[in-house]
Structure 1
Amino acid sequence: MRVLDVGAAPRRPVESNGSRGFTIGAIAVTAEAHLVTVRLTPGGVVGRHPAAGRQLLLVVEGDATVSGADGVECELGPGQAAVWEPGEAHTTRSAGGLLALVVEGDLDVGEPGHVVDPGDV
């Protein structure tokens, strides 16, 4: 067994698409999907860009204001997630700072109460 401190994963800054105060660090990568940590400093922004694949952002600490293709903003807190479809333009910002996990790729993301893994039935 290995124990990972996702908050301490090595990260690199991202400034594309007008992003600021945004760093990202890879935790796991496969041909079908990748798992990364995302940090936003207070006032940080992930600039509007299209999702490369189905993307799930799960807030671990802090706050996130997210929007998708329609531009409607939604507030998220710890334990809440946003899902964007492949190619969907989206943005994320944080007033107070954010640590999140992002999984992107070939994902089957269910609704609350929906069984995603048939082995769980």
Structure 2
Amino acid sequence: MEANSSTGFAVGALGITAEAHLVVVRLAPGGVIGQHPAVGRQILLVVDGDATVTGADDAPRALGPGEAAVWEPGEPHTTTTEHGLLGFVVEGDLDLDTRPGAVDAP
């Protein structure tokens, strides 16, 4: 996929609902997901590899396996990788609790 100046990027849908969907993303070593706005609230969870992400403040943040980034609807963001990335992205109508790691908490 090369939209938004992206390189080395592949995406595949795992499940889709009217409110949110889950996709698996793969970035080749040196890959880039170019800057684009989040369609809805978006969570990137790194499963394997590394990621450097930016959000509205454009400050780079390094992520490793088990770490995640969250972007708000409309927030511009980018993702790059030095060694390659396998991750999950959940985006859409998501309620996030204020506690780390809590999604759709009661």
Which category of TM-score, normalised to the shorter sequence, fits these structures?
Answer: over 0.9
Worse-matched range after superposition: 82-91 or 104-113 = 104-113
**AA matched with 1:45:** V
When you count helix as a share of all residues, which structure comes out higher?
Answer: 1
Shift of 1:109: 1.9
Distance 1:66 1:59 in 2: 11
Q: Would the alpha carbon gap of residues 104 and 115 (structure 1) be closer, same or farther in structure 2, given more than 3 Å must change?
A: closer
Q: Would the alpha carbon gap of residues 99 and 115 (structure 1) be closer, same or farther in structure 2, given more than 3 Å must change?
A: closer
Q: Which runs of 4+ in 1 moved over 2 A?
A: 113-117
Q: Superposed, which structure 2 residues align to 1:1-121 within 5 Å? A: 14-110=1-97, 111-112=99-100, 116-118=104-106
Q: Percent identity?
A: 66
When you count strand as a share of all residues, which structure comes out higher?
Answer: 2
Q: Would the alpha carbon gap of residues 79 and 115 (structure 1) be closer, same or farther in structure 2, given more than 3 Å must change?
A: closer
Residue 52 of structure 2 contacts residue 81 of structure 2 at CA under 8 Å; is this kept in 1?
yes
Q: Which runs of 5+ in 2 are unaligned?
A: none
Number of equivalent positions: 105
Give the TM-score normalised by the residue count of structure 1: 0.83
Larger Rg: 1
Q: Which runs of 5+ in 1 are unaligned?
A: 1-13
Give the TM-score normalised by the residue count of structure 2: 0.94
